[in-house]
Amino acid sequence: MSSSSKAGAVAHEVREPEAKESVSELELHVAGMNCPDCVRRAEDRLEDLEGVRAARGDHVARRLHVAFDAHEVDGSRIRAELGSIGFVARPAEGDTGRTDIWSTPMAVRTYVSGAAFLSGLLLAFLGTGPAVLQLPWADLRVPDLLFLAAAIVGGWNFIPAGFRSLRALSLDMNFLMTLAILGAVGIGEFLEAGAIAFLFSLAELLEGYAVDRARRSIHALLDLSPDRATVVRDDAEVTVSAQDLVPGDVVRVRRGEKIPGDGRVASGAAAVNQSMITGESLPVDLAVGDEVFAGTINTAGFLEIVIERAADETTLANIVRIVEEAERRKSRSERFVRTFARYYTPSVAASALLVVAVPTLLLGQPFSVWFVRGLTLLVIACPCALVISTPVAVVSGITAAARNGVLIKGGEHLETMGRVRVIAFDKTGTLTHGHPAVTDVVPLEGTEETVLSLAASIEARSEHPIGKAIVAEARERDVALKAEISDFDNNFGMGAAAVVNGRRCIVGAPHLFSEESLPTAALESLSGQAKTVVCVGPAEAPVGLIALADQPRDEARGAIQTLRRAGVERVVMLTGDNRHTAQAIAGRLGIDAVYAELQPEEKVRVLERLEADWGVTAMVGDGINDGPALAVASIGIAMGAAGSDVALETADVALMADDLSRLPYLYDLSRAGGQVIRQNIGASLLTKLTLAIGVPFGWVSLVTAVLIGDMGASLAVTLNSLRLARVRPTARGAAD
C-alpha cells in the first residue's frame, strides 16, 4: 500500500463512529481553584463543553482530571475554557506545588489594600477633615478615599471572578463578596467596603497558605525520590537521571546517598534508612539478595544494586499514586456535607432576600440598614468553611499516615477504621513471623551445643525451612559445624540424613527413630506446647531433640493490648493451621477467640458472622493469601505490603512494614480523624448559625461576617485538621 493510500485509510478510520468512542485523559493543575465552589464551577463549565466526557476536580490538590474525546476537543481548548472563567490551567505533569503564596499578585494586592485600609483608619481616628470629593450619594474625605482604594485594590482579587460568576448565574463567594462591596459603596459605607475587600483577600491568602501545608505533604513524598543515579556501564560509572533507569541496570550507592530505584543488592552491605517507605525508625541491615526501595537512604556502607522496576513502577511511585487517588475519594462525611451545602446556601440566600424585603416593603424600615443586613446574611451563606471541613482533614490524615508507613486508600477507610469493634487476624505471617525458629534443644547425650552442631552440619545443605532454622540457631550461638559430612540425602521421608564421622545420622520426625530409644515424656511435653519436634542422631539411638515453632511477633501482644485500651472490643484469629497450634499462639497473645483449620471461603463466612454480631470488622492479613477475607471485611488491612503490588492493590489499608505496632497508630489516627471531622462540621455550622441569628438584630456587621464567618471559620477548620499530623506511632512493642 502506498503512503497516500495509507493516509487515506487512516483518515477513513478517524471518521468511523467507533473511533469517536476513544477517550483521552488530561490532568491539569488549576491555579485559583481554591474552594469547592471553584471546583463545581470548573466541572460544570467543562462538562458543558462538547467532547468532554467527565471532569473531576480536587480543590486541595488544585488538580482537575478531564476525560475527553480528542477528535472533538483538545487540551488547549479545555485550558482556554477554564481561562474564560478565571482559572489558569497547565498540565499537572511536573507540577511541584511549590508556589510561594506570599509573593503572588494576589498577595501584593492584599498588602497594598491593607496599607490603604490601615492608613484610612489612622486618619479617621485623628480626624476626618473636610470633604475632598463629592459623589451624588456621599461626600468623600481623605480616609474615605483610602478606604475606597483599599476596596478597589483588594477587591480586584475577586471582583472579576464575581462578575464571571454572575454571568454563569453562580452564587459563589466571589459574587457574594463583590455584591457586598458594591452595596457598601452604594450606600456610602466606605470603611466597610475597604474592610471587606482587605479582610476577604487576607482570608483567602491565609486559607490558601493553610491548605498548601496539607497539599505540600504529597510533594514531600515526591521529594524522597533522588534525581540522579550512578550507573555502572562498561566498567565505568556514569551519572544518569533516576527516571531513565531500566530493569537490569546496576547502580552504586555510597554512604549518605539515596537509593534511586527498586531492586536487589548484588554486592556489598549497608544500613539503610527505610522509614520513608515502611515507617521504621531504625536503619535496616541489608546484604546480597535483599530487596531495596527507591528513596531510601544508605546510612552506612556501600551497595551495588540491580534495578528491577522502572521509575514509574517503584514502591514509592505506587505510594504517591495511591495517596493522590485516596485524596480524591470522597468520605461518607464529605458526601453528606456536600449534599447539605447544596440546600444550605440557596436557603440562606432566600432568607437574605426576605431580610431586605420584609422590613423595607412591609414595615417601612430604612432600606440602607436592611440592605446591609441582607448582604451580611449572603456572606454568611457561603459554605466554604463547612465544605472544606472534611477534605482537608482527610488529606492531612492520609498523608500523615503515608509518612509513617501506612497507606489508607481513601477518606471512607480513614473514617471506618475509627469505628472498628472487632479485629480479625490471620496467624501465619501476620501474628507470627511465618517461619519456624528453634525454641528448645534437649540433649540425650552430650550438650546442647553437640546436638545443635550435629543437626546443623547435616541441615546446612538443606533448603527446608526447619533445616534453615536449625542452621540459623547454630550461627546465632556460634556453634561450629562438623566437617566430616558425606552422602547427604534430603529425600529421606520427613527429614535429612548424612554420614557423619562414618556413622549415618538423621535429623527428622520421631517415627524415623527406634521407638524404644525415644524420650516419650519430653516428646509429649514439647508437642503439647504446639511445637514441631525433630530428633537428631543415629536411628537406633538419637542424641537429642530440637523443638521448633513459628514464633509470635515481638510487638504482637503489645499491639493487641493497645488496641483493646483504645476501644476495640474483640480480637479473633482466623487461620488454616491446626487448632492446637492456633490456640497455643492465641493464648500467648491474649486473643479472645480462635477459628482454626479454615479454608479461604470459610474465613469469609466467619467474617460475615462477626460483622452481623458485632458491627464494623477489620481483617488483617498478608494481602495475598487472605484476599477474599480482606475484601469482605468492613476494612481490609494488608501487612508487610512494601514491594508487593498485590497487597498494595487489594487492601483498603496497607501497613508497609511487618510491624503490628502500626495498627494501633492507624486506629488512633482514624479515631482522631473522625473527631476532627465532627469538630469541623459542628464548629462551622454553629458559627454560621449563630451569626445568621444575630444579623436581623443588627448584632453582626459585614466585617464581622467576613472576619469570623468566612476567614475565621475556614482557618479554624483547616488548622484543626493539620493537628492530625501530630498523631505518632508508639514504639514497637511498647505496650507489652
**Any idea which residues carry the catalytic annotation?**
426
Enumerate residues 6+ apart whose C-beta is below 8 A from 209.
101, 102
Distance CA 295, CA 316 (A): 7
548: cell is: 521448633
340: cell is: 447539605
Taking CA atoms, 302 is separated from 190, 240, 290, in Å, by 69, 19, 14
Torsion of CA 116, 120, 123, 125, to 10 degrees: -140
Distance CA 621, CA 636 (A): 8
Nearest alpha-carbon partner for 659 in 572, 586, 732: 732
Taking CA atoms, 623 is separated from 173, 642, 670, in Å, by 46, 11, 21
* 3-class DSSP state of 276: helix
Beta bridge partners of 88: 31
- DSSP class of residue 86? T
Strands 495-500 and 485-492: antiparallel
Beta bridge partners of 534: 546
C-beta separation of 657 from 405 below 8 A: yes
Burial of 181 (0-12, 13-18, 19+ CB in 10 A): buried
Nearest alpha-carbon partner for 311 in 234, 253, 254, 240: 240
Nearest alpha-carbon partner for 692 in 366, 401, 266, 378: 378
C-beta separation of 661 from 729 below 8 A: yes
416: cell is: 471506618
